[in-house]
Amino acid sequence: MAEKKKKEALSTEEKIITAARKLFMQKGYDATKTRDIAKEAGINLALLNYYFRSKEKLFELVMEENMGQFMMVIGNIVNNEETSMEQKIESLVANYIDMLTRVPDMPLFVMTHMKNNPQRLKMRERFLGSHFMKQVQEGIKKGEITPINPVNIMINIVGLTIFPFIGRPMIQNNNGITTEQFNALMQERKKLIPKWIGAILKAK
């Protein structure tokens, strides 16, 4: 019974969302036409409005889903009181790289949307007030970590992890590497980034 895997088991509603998610991420809101979505979903144009009222409503749905996914990873990891600072960094980096390898267009999509639709993501509480940050502050007190602006830690971890996916066209086209090679490089970075962050935190 519970065979969610079957592609043909998708309801019309799900087919439309799946198509919309794909096209919106690939080409952006304005470049994606409702006709494209209908065609990609294999349904009629009118059904799109029947289920979702408008293109914008459909977009908002896809967008919320993405923002949630993009941010969800952080919370659980960063406030786990049973892991070390190093373990948290490893986990953060690995989780993001795994997710972005599946949906590589997500970061550019999310960043573009946030640029024109600023919204609080409660990252202040999630990240700056997290157990992870307390561990960093402790490390600084003990002299194990060079004093650093918490915002810079966030920028560096997130930047080193997700920037490659944003700059992927630049990276791939100019180094003549395939998608497989790119993905392999990201897998390597899973181990390297935590090491590098460690070095950054100790740099004088």
Partner DNA sequence: GTCTATAATTCGATAGAC
Partner DNA sequence: GTCTATCGAATTATAGAC
- Return the number of the residue (57 or 122) whose C-beta is nearest DNA: 57
Q: Which positions from 117 through 146 interact with its own copies, judged by CB under 8 A?
A: 118-124, 127-128
Q: What is the three-class DSSP state of 153? A: helix
Taking CB under 8 A as the binding criterion, the range among 1-9, 51-59, 81-89, 192-200 that sits at the site for its own copies is 192-200
**Residue 151 engages its own copies in binding (rule: CB under 8 A):** yes
The Cα–Cα gap between 57 and 37 comes to 14
**Residue 178 engages its own copies in binding (rule: CB under 8 A):** no
User: 83 phi and psi, to 5 degrees?
Assistant: -110, 155
- Return the number of the residue (42 or 159) whose C-beta is nearest DNA: 42
How many CB atoms lie under 10 A from the CB of residue 187?
14
Of DNA, its own copies, none, which one sits near residue 170, judging by CB under 5 to 8 A according to partner kind? its own copies
Of DNA, its own copies, none, which one sits near residue 159, judging by CB under 5 to 8 A according to partner kind? its own copies
Name every residue whose Cβ is closer than 8 Å to that of residue 35 and which is 6 or more positions away in sequence. 45
The Cα–Cα gap between 44 and 175 comes to 42
**Residue choice 2, 8, 176, 180 for contact with its own copies (CB under 8 A):** 176
The Cα–Cα gap between 128 and 44 comes to 47
Of its own copies, DNA, none, which one sits near residue 45, judging by CB under 5 to 8 A according to partner kind? DNA
The Cα–Cα gap between 172 and 202 comes to 32
How many CB atoms lie under 10 A from the CB of residue 51?
16
**Residue choice 61, 103, 140, 154 for contact with its own copies (CB under 8 A):** 154
Of its own copies, DNA, none, which one sits near residue 116, judging by CB under 5 to 8 A according to partner kind? its own copies
The Cα–Cα gap between 19 and 43 comes to 10
**Residue 61 engages its own copies in binding (rule: CB under 8 A):** no
Residue type for 52, please?
A: F
**Residue 72 engages its own copies in binding (rule: CB under 8 A):** no
**Residue choice 54, 69, 76, 175 for contact with its own copies (CB under 8 A):** 175
Chain positions contacting DNA, by CB under 7 A = 12, 32-35, 43-47, 49-50, 53-56
